[in-house]
Structure 1
Amino acid sequence: MTLSDAQEKMCSESSWDFSDLTALFLNCTLKKSPERSHTQGLIDISTAIMEKNGIATECLRPVDHDIATGVWPDMTQHGWDNDEWPAIAEKVMAADILVVGTSIWLGEKTSICTQLIERLYSSSGDLNAHGQYAYYGRVGGCLITGNEDGAKHCAMNILYSLQHIGYVIPPQADAAWLGEAGPGPSYLDPGSGGPENDFTNRNTTFMTWNLMHMARMIKNAGGIPPHGNQRSQWDAGCRSDFPNPEHR
């Protein structure tokens, strides 16, 4: 991905060291690799900025993997023959930054994105070394593409879900590109104007830098201070015989 002059200038003039940070992008397109994903085109801008600043990035498409449906960490323990989610969950937990990408269908995030949120939720009751919920100390954002209304609706849903399970959401943590309503060119199609759209490029750039800055601040601080938010220090009144995996 070729960055614009303005984006390159921001990277070259940066005095911050982000080189010890890692980022995971989960592209919830409905298209299996190597089919072209328009959402990936927007993700590529964000990853290019991060990589210019020394951040190790990885992007994968959940649709390429055999992920079971459910709200438990390992669904092979609940009747499924196979579940590749636990391996992806390890990558999630290893990343300082998580960015969820999705296209829009009928005004909603994709079914793959819904499945992803459900599987992230399955580990929301796990605790870190400080007795906090396991996702504490990580930051999250989202990128959205489509040819219909719904970008803000999808962003609200995704970002709410991420903060609910413990992610920190920095200012302006979403960006989107929407083409003309109805049939027409998508983001990467010739003549769409998507890659040149100033509004989308600005928001994608701001989102990326805000994610990087917030991750830097949290890491420098040693995480979220473990006072007043430790599940291990609070009797939540949960019962082990409840079948509902609402750990929180």
Structure 2
Amino acid sequence: MKALVINCTLKTSPDPSNTHALATVVAAQLEKYGAEVEFVRAVDMDIRPGVVSEAVGPGDQWPQVHGKLRESDILVVASPTWLGRPSSVAQRVLERMDAMLSETDDDGRPVAYNKVAGVVVTGNEDGAHHVISEISGALADIGYTIPGQAWTYWHLGPGPGPDYLDDERGRDWSHRTGRAMAANLFGTAKALAANPLGAPPE
């Protein structure tokens, strides 16, 4: 089983990413179940604005990400919280994924059917549940199955404060929730593999 984590931090490599650090907790648990996990840091790639899966222009690297999405059974979208909302990088990724609404497999099913997805959020301000709902809602629209409690987040309350990598407080809860998230994602992906959804009725 393949899992893809798209990190939508605003920080380019090799800068440390709080969002990546929390997402690795989920990834490690998925790997314990036998999943093969790959990370993509979207901001490191040239992903152009658009709502198509094909390259928008020379150098557009979205088709590479789209190929990984098609190959993966589990998707984790990880985003920081900025102004109480998902990052601009997360929005760009979701806009490009919009094209998947019209893509079908050989059996006439939307290509995101029988795939599961969840969300990881970090930030030093409130808004995590809003970010989770925004991203989860978009992924459900595209056709992903969102299991119960398919998310984890970390923040220390409203207002400015330390980053995840700078403060141990709250980590135990976030990590425990992240491991539960991984269990729910993997279990649901296994169930769908054994009993896949069919194409929507005409």
TM-score bracket relative to the smaller structure: over 0.9
Q: TM-score, normalised by structure 1?
A: 0.78
Higher-helix-fraction structure: 2
Q: Which residue of 1 aligns with 2:180?
A: 206
- Shift of residue 180, structure 1, vs aligned partner: 4.3
Does the CA-based 8 Å contact 1:126-1:133 persist in structure 2? yes
Amino acid at match of 1:134: V
d(CA) in 1 for partners of 2:100 and 2:30? 27
Amino acid at match of 1:42: L
Q: Which residue of 2 aligns with 1:64?
A: 44
Amino acid at match of 1:113: A
Q: Which residue of 2 aligns with 1:52?
A: 32
Any unmatched runs of 5+ in structure 2? none
CA displacement 1:93-150 (0-9 Å, x = unmatched) = 1000000000011010000000000011122201111111111110000000001111
- Shift of residue 87, structure 1, vs aligned partner: 0.9
Indicate whether 1:149 and 2:126 are aligned: yes
Any unmatched runs of 5+ in structure 1? 1-20, 235-248
Does the CA-based 8 Å contact 1:135-1:165 persist in structure 2? yes
Does the CA-based 8 Å contact 1:171-1:210 persist in structure 2? yes
Does the CA-based 8 Å contact 1:146-1:178 persist in structure 2? yes
Q: Which residue of 2 aligns with 1:241?
A: none
d(CA) in 2 for partners of 1:36 and 1:60? 14
d(CA) in 2 for partners of 1:200 and 1:143? 10
- Shift of residue 218, structure 1, vs aligned partner: 0.5
Amino acid at match of 2:30: M
Q: Which residue of 2 aligns with 1:108?
A: 85
Does the CA-based 8 Å contact 2:125-2:157 persist in structure 1? yes
Indicate whether 1:225 and 2:198 are aligned: yes
Larger relative contact order, structure 1 or 2 (CA cutoff 8 Å, min sep 6): 2
Q: How many residues align?
A: 202
Identity of aligned residues (%): 37
1:88-237 mapped onto 2 (5 Å cutoff): 88-189=65-166, 192-194=167-169, 197-221=171-195, 223-226=196-199, 229-230=200-201, 234=202
Does the CA-based 8 Å contact 2:109-2:198 persist in structure 1? no
Structure 1 runs (4+) greater than 4 angstroms displaced = none
d(CA) in 2 for partners of 1:126 and 1:134? 6
- Shift of residue 72, structure 1, vs aligned partner: 1.4
Does the CA-based 8 Å contact 2:23-2:120 persist in structure 1? yes
